[in-house]
Amino acid sequence: MTNEEILREIDSLPPEGQRLVESFLAFLRQRYARPVAPLDDVPLQDEQFIGMWRDRNDLTDSTAWVRGLRESEWGQ
């Protein structure tokens, strides 16, 4: 059966039948979902991105930096 034939068959069903097909597809997606790879157990402070902006003088006070950005962009 082609995809087009399957779609025609689903379209020909009454609304309750279409809901059952949708529910069954959700079940199949869950059953055959690929397992998520486990995250590394690297402590956050050891992640490479930590400290990547430490040399930026404009970000020493992040609250002031965000406030200035908002004022320049939105006049708030």
Radius of gyration of the chain (CA): 26
C-beta of residue 39 within 8 angstroms of C-beta of residue 47: no
- pTM for this model (two decimals): 0.45
Q: How far apart (Å, rounded) are the C-alpha atoms in residues 39 and 24?
A: 30
Query: What is residue 62's three-state secondary structure?
Result: helix
pLDDT tens, residue by residue, 8-62 = 999 999 999 999 999 999 999 999 998 877 777 778 788 888 888 888 888 888 8
Question: What ranges do the domains of the chain cover?
Answer: 50-74
Residue-wise pLDDT tens digits, 19-29: 999 999 999 99
Q: How many angstroms separate the first and last alpha carbons of the chain?
A: 59
